[in-house]
Structure 1
Amino acid sequence: MRKPINRISFYVYLFLSTLFLTTACSSDDSDTDNVMGDWIRQSEFAGVTRSGAVGFAIGDKAYVGTGYDGKNRLKDFWQYDPSKSAWIRIAEFPGVARSAAVSFSANGKGYVGTGYNGETYLKDFWEYDPEANTWTQIADFPGSARYGALALSINENGYVGAGYDGNYQKDFWQYNPSTGAWTEKVGLGGAKRFNGFAFSLNGKGYIGGGQNNGLYEDDFLEYDPIADSWTRLKALNSTDREDEAYPTPRGSAVPFTINGKAYLCVGTNGATLSEVWQYDASGDSWTAMNAFEGYAREGAVGFAIGNYGFVTTGAYGSTRFDDLWQFDPTMDNE
């Protein structure tokens, strides 16, 4: 014989079920709040999955290569044409295979150097000519051999600094493509770091994040190339930015710039992140954008072409990726 249902238990069950459904619906409604930024998956990267690769954009095309696939360092290189949503393999990087290198574009050329080959830190540097599809070795980076450095370009000059060479670094160097010369500039006006983020806006450079002796740095710095000087902006903490939104300090994040604004995507603060933030230099302010819609990751590659940003490759733990996502900051997430 079946045991009869206890009437009190039934009503308790009914109440809890209704409460759960109501709560779930409320959560779904809150998720529809308008947050700017729309992510669309595009043609996936044609090389093997990897993290710690480099990427740069020249004109209306992007270039991605090197990195680590979990077993081997890599030296293949690929061009992405968003107008055709197509990847083609280009001339192989001629230096030793590596990961955690740096790259920048300046004066119509791409530049790749430093990094780690699995045994030693590196300081060689190479120039890529997209018209000839050729690589040429240029003068070595004059600082110490290192990996996890940061790089950016301002007014057709490249800048490389910080990183790890057995110790954490904060030096800063300019490369002039017209003369082929490296010049040491005043070192970072904040902490030493590796795996920080760097971008340029309106003729100035911006640097933040990364790790120093196991800590994620929260300082945020502006570099003036004319004065060769650093200004400390409000740090990424509640003390400096009380009642303001701001990204948590992080390493291995992806920056790119679109139409006078910078965007900081993914990375790690001990946990792998999907967050996306917009930075407005005119007000030194941050705005949360729609989160990255691929898997959370660190050590990815980011670049911007026209009005769109792109994120590809990267890792979540031991899992590495080859998906490509396009970001439109002007669209909402509905």
Structure 2
Amino acid sequence: MSRLPLAVATLPFLASCHPPAPEPAPTEQLAAPGIFHFYPQAAAVDATVMLLGNDFSAMPANNVVKFGSGEAKAYYVRKSSYFDTLKVKVPGNATNGPLTLSIYGKTATAVRPFFLTTGRWTRKADFNLVGRGSVYGTGFYLGGKVYTVVPGNNELWAYDPLQNAWSRKAPHPVGPLTLTTHVGELVSFVLGNAAYVGVSVSSPPSDQFRFYRYDPATDQWSTPSSAPYVRSRSSAVFGFGTKGYLIDTGPMDGQKVMEYDPQLGFWRRIGTFPGPARTLSTFFVLNGKAYVGGGSTGTSSDLLLDFWEFSPLTNSWARKADLPLSTERANGFSAGGRGYLMTESRQCFVYNPQADTWARESDFIGSFIPSPSNISSPDKGYLVWGWDAINSNYPNFWEFSPR
């Protein structure tokens, strides 16, 4: 058997003994990177996170972002004289923990931690709202469709999730709705196959909160009843079983709990909200119970944390785990057996009724929408447009999927 020369045979061994060649020196002259801000702070796998800071590499792949114990490379970078911007996808092995950015061996750590979540926000078909905002609208889910009553022109629109399209329906019988003729915003609840939409009127007869019944099968409205006036921005209105309920948390109307029986055609008082009087509280309905909390006792410095559960079956209240932060004007909705709260800063939290606990959920990724209509369905949550005090309309429509 022929043998290779010793020098040739030992070449692979000798080569393996040499240390690896050093990485090429960076072609960019960068100081240590800095992170000013990143958003969203809570997001699911594959969601896009944006970082703002300084001394990012102009080559996206050189910017390595670590989400807890998982890391990913940026796919987009924009350099400017003011600050740098990069975008990166949350990797599959991300965890809760610090968010860091490493470039050429230099690392920056964000002040806030990153939270890995499961929910996803998706923008859906918008519709034109120019000239239609005058008071705060309302919405409801019925028969597999999302409905919203748009004030100003008292229009009713229906959204079909399967078609991702809106269609116009019979207009609300009271209108146009303006702040000079109506007080507060619209409210609504669903009983069986019909929706009840209420509006508080300031013109005679005053002190009335009138409800109108909408039948989607016939696309027609009727007037079944009226209810004592309440400030609707301080109230929770919902349907359960065969009856409707209105929970007034405001300081001007006795913090009453009202029940509506469509067979009898009138409202009656059945109790009192046990917490302190407040305005701008948050509520959602979950598993046949209403949850109410937060708000303000008068000023932004008097924000509340308390959170309450109301059971229509027993006409009873129970104090639950406080909200994760004091807030007013927060948006509440339910989906997939959980309750959700979204603050004006676009932070989102999820409530587990079995464990009576709060946790972070995927932050809202759209532009801030003032006073949107929050609509709950069995497996999705929706934010429908918005309106502010200077008559600016926000036609955005977003869908939230819990998992």
Q: Same fold (TM over 0.5)?
A: yes
Alpha-carbon distance, 1:254 to partner: 2.3
Query: Which runs of structure 1 show a deviation greater than 6 angstroms over 4 or more consecutive aligned residues?
Result: 28-32, 117-121
Q: What is the aligned-residue RMSD (CA, Å)?
A: 2.9
Query: In the alignment, is residue 128 of structure 1 matched against residue 214 of structure 2?
Result: yes
What TM-score do you get using the length of structure 2 for normalisation?
0.65
Give the aligned residue type for 2:168.
Answer: R
What residue identity is the alignment partner of 1:322? P
C-alpha distance 186-168 of structure 1, shift in aligned 2 (>3 A): closer
* Alignment-derived partner of residue 102 in structure 1: 187
**Residue of 314, 318, 322 corresponding to 2:386:** 314
2:325 matched to 1:256? no
Q: Check 1:188–1:306 CA distance in 2 against 1; reply closer, same or farther (3 A cut).
A: closer
Q: What TM-score, normalized to structure 1?
A: 0.78
Alignment partner, residue 300 of structure 1? 372
Q: Residue 138 in 1 paired to residue 224 in 2?
A: yes
Shift of 1:150: 2.1
Q: Which residue of 2 aligns with 1:326?
A: 399
2:163 paired residue number: 84
What letter matches 1:139 in structure 2?
S
Paired residues of 1:197 and 1:208 also in contact (CA < 8 A): yes
Identity of aligned residues (%): 24
How much does 1:219 deviate?
A: 1.4
Aligned to 1:288: 360
> SS where residue 313 of structure 2 aligns?
coil
Aligned position for 1:183: 268
Equivalent pair of 1:168/1:192 in contact (CA under 8 Å): no
Using the TM superposition, give the Cα deviation of residue 275 of structure 1 relative to its aligned residue in structure 2, in angstroms.
1.4
SS in 2 for 1:249: coil
Task: Find the counterpart in structure 1 of residue 148 from structure 2.
Answer: 64
Residues in 1 aligned to 2:271 and 2:356: alpha-carbon distance in whole angstroms:
23
Q: Is the CA contact (8 Å cut-off) linking 1:104 and 1:111 kept in structure 2?
A: yes
**Contact 2:237–2:245 (CA under 8 A) maintained in structure 1:** yes
Question: How much does 1:18 deviate?
Answer: 5.1
Which of 277, 280, 295 aligns to 1:210? It is 295
Aligned length: 295
Contact 2:257 2:271 in 1 (8 A): yes
Offset from partner CA, 1:204-244 (integer Å, 9 cap, x none)? 221112233223332111112222121122323xxxxxxxx
Map 1:133-172; keep pairs closer than 5 Å.
133-141=219-227, 143-148=228-233, 149-162=235-248, 167=252, 169-172=254-257
Q: State the Cα distance separating 1:103 from its structure 2 match.
A: 0.9
Instruction: Give unmatched runs, 5+ long, in structure 2.
Output: 1-28, 35-53, 57-99, 103-107
Alpha-carbon deviation of 1:296? 2.1
Rounded Cα–Cα distance in structure 2 between residues aligned with 1:303 and 1:18: 42
The aligned amino acid for 1:174 is: E
Q: 1:233-252 maps to which residues of 2 (within 5 A)?
A: 233-236=320-323, 246=324, 248-252=325-329
The 1:163/1:115 distance shift into structure 2, 3 A limit, reads: farther
d(CA) in 2 for partners of 1:169, 1:45: 39
How far is the alpha carbon of 1:300 from its aligned partner? Answer: 0.6
